Structure 1
Amino acid sequence: MVTPAPTALAVDLGSGAVGVWAARRGTVSGPCGEELASAGTLVRRGRVVDTEGCAEVLRRLVRRYPDPVPAGGVVAVCRPVLAGAPDQAAMRRVLDEVFQPSRVVFIDTVRAAAIGSGAAAGTLLVADLGAQLTELALLDRGRVVTARRADIGTRDLARGATVDLLAGTVARQFEDLRAPDSAVRRGMLLVGDGATHPELPAALSAALRVRVHRAASPHTAALNGAGLAAMSLLRHPAQT
């Protein structure tokens, strides 16, 4: 019996949606919860709060592939910037249950988004405005130098938050980062749900007095970047 070759996989466990990328299979995604629970009860503010529920969502997504995904793959999983050890342990339990991976590597969502957008060179400001989490990071040659996060996102707009409040949150994060002029002149890359909001990009640009560039594929940029990282790890196992 021939043992299947290891597969490169990428996973993004977002508060609003879960996505999986698999080499030679493409991307599948869906709401975080589907019929199992209301959105936000499986992953809340970027933290996995129901490992079994998340595992079941991933199983359902993977079953959409025409060809089964073999166990033992290399998985790159997006994590919120500044995620702690307990957060990573919860994500690892989900991945172990679904994929039985040979290796798991964590990659900050902001970094993965920069890679997936083809913008990781030089110094770069990346803002990820998700459903329940807002993250801003300064990257240098694809590495996170410093970052901030806040427990607020686009879903809070339906609960009384305003566009100005979200923009003000990012503006305060921006002031804290003290980004160099080279990054400010380049502008800010915007990914996540907020990038498709009709008012947020302009509000951010006005609040920060910085050009805001929406990623071409803001909802999948991080997953695509994590997929590239997984492919690289599969080709070069010693890489960290």
Structure 2
Amino acid sequence: MTAPRLRGSARHPLRRDWGVALELGSARTRAWVPGRGLITDVPTVTFGAGTTYPIQRGTIVDEAGCARMLQRLLGHRLPRRTRPHIVLTTPVLDGPAYRSAARAAVEVLRPRTVRTIPTARAVALAAGAGLSRPLLVVDVGAHLSEVVLLSGTGVVDARRAALGTGDLGAARPAGIADTVASMITEMLRQDRTSRTADALHRGVLLAGGGALRPGIVHDLSGLLGVPPRVVPAPHTAAVRGAARHLCALHGGGLGARPLPR
């Protein structure tokens, strides 16, 4: 009898490309692995002398703490000897400082590659929204709200406010809706083209935990004059969109796994 062919060995294990989509939010950290789905959705906290919050209002304030958190959450979930491809969502207006700190933090996972994607772009991908026409994306998180105008593959304009659902103890839902509407109004006033107006007429794409609050959705609809289009499962839209981007970049190497919806 012919012995079966062994694929790999203990000394030379099979290499299999893995990918991880990451959302490092001020309130929650989420990770999505193609083929496995959402594997982590937990508060963004780290432990040492006490409980600390390494990301605040969309800014990484403790890079080392963020790395420790990622090691604790994901280090044991990735196969040994694997160097994953990572796609990381980033707030639009944090710029190079956030991307640099985030890339340094994820180095604890020994990535093969690290790509970043603006959160608004990831939301659009999760919603399957085409960008052949201008698109307004509103992301209302726990501690940060962003309004972003997308056109083609790029960010045309963006606004942010340090206000979110975590502030509802001090701010009414109408206060969040008012802030978002004010940012959109400012964009309309400063836009010398028709792109912002066209995107508003098309309908605002609403994501983040704030999209699960009926009061915010209702108030925003009244202020804008058009009902927002709420992304399915809006609280996980960013990480799912990052996973779609990951699959598009490394689809063949990741085993052509189904795209998240």
Residue 104 of structure 1 deviates from its aligned partner by 1.1
Q: 1:110 aligns with which of 116, 120, 125?
A: 120
Partner of 1:68: 79
Q: Specify every segment of 5 or more residues in structure 1 that has no aligned partner in the other structure, as ranges.
A: none
User: What residue is the counterpart of 1:232 in the other structure?
Assistant: 248
Q: Which position in structure 1 is the counterpart of 2:134?
A: 123
Match of 2:105 among 80, 83, 94: 94
Mapped partners of 1:130, 1:211: distance in 2: 19
Which residue of 139, 150, 158 corresponds with 1:147?
A: 158
Aligned counterpart, 2:205: 189
- CA displacement 1:68-101 (0-9 Å, x = unmatched): 375422211000011122211111111111x211
SS at match of 2:17: coil
Preserved contact between residue 92 and residue 118 of structure 2 (Cα < 8 Å): yes
* Superposed structure 1 runs of 4+ greater than 6 Å apart: none
Q: After the TM superposition, which residues 36-75 of structure 1 pair with which residues of structure 2 at under 5 Å, given as runs?
A: 41-62=53-74, 65=77, 68=79, 71-75=82-86
Paired residues of 2:87 and 2:245 also in contact (CA < 8 A):
yes
Q: Is the 8 A contact 2:145 2:163 kept in 1?
A: yes
Deviation at 1:132, TM superposition (A): 0.7
Q: 1:190 is matched by which residue type in structure 2?
A: L
Q: How far apart, in 2, do the equivalents of 1:149 and 1:235 lie?
A: 33
Tell whether 2:238 aligns with 1:205.
no
Q: Which amino acid aligns with 1:221?
A: A
Q: Match of 2:22, as an amino acid?
A: V
Q: Deviations over 1:198-239 (max 9, x none)?
A: 3101111112222211111111111011111112222489xx
Alignment gaps of 5+ in structure 2: 1-11, 189-194, 254-261
Distance in 2 between the 1:77 and 1:131 partners? 19
SS of corresponding position for 1:119: coil
Q: For structure 1, which segment, 107-116 or 207-216, has the greater mean C-alpha deviation from structure 2 after superposition?
A: 207-216
Q: Report Cα offsets for 1:156-204 as digits up to 9, x if no partner.
A: 112x122222112111110122244431222111111101113101111
What root-mean-square deviation, in Å, do the aligned CA atoms of Structure 1 and Structure 2 show?
Answer: 2.2
Cα distance between partner residues in 2 of 1:52 and 1:25: 28
Which amino acid in structure 2 is aligned with residue 195 of structure 1?
A
* 1:169 pairs with 2:185: no
Q: Secondary structure at the match of 1:171?
A: helix
Whichever residue aligns with residue 149 of structure 2, its letter is L
Closer, same or farther: CA 69–231 of 1 in aligned 2, 3 Å: farther
Shift of 1:60: 3.2
Contact 2:138 2:147 in 1 (8 A): yes
**May I ask how many residue pairs the two structures share in their alignment?**
233
Give the Å deviation of 1:148: 0.8
Deviation at 1:142, TM superposition (A): 4.4
- Residue 23 of structure 1 deviates from its aligned partner by 2.1
- C-alpha offsets along residues 42-89 of structure 1, whole Å, 9 cap, x if unaligned? 110011112233223323332674x63754222110000111222111
Q: Measure the CA separation in 2 of the matches of 1:69 and 1:221.
A: 29
Which residue of structure 2 aligns with residue 31 of structure 1?
Answer: 43
- Secondary structure in 2 matching 1:128: strand
Identity over aligned pairs, percent: 34
**Equivalence for 2:91:** 80
CA distance in 2, matches of 1:218, 1:168: 20
Contact 1:7 1:69 in 2 (8 A): no
Letter in 1 for 2:70: L
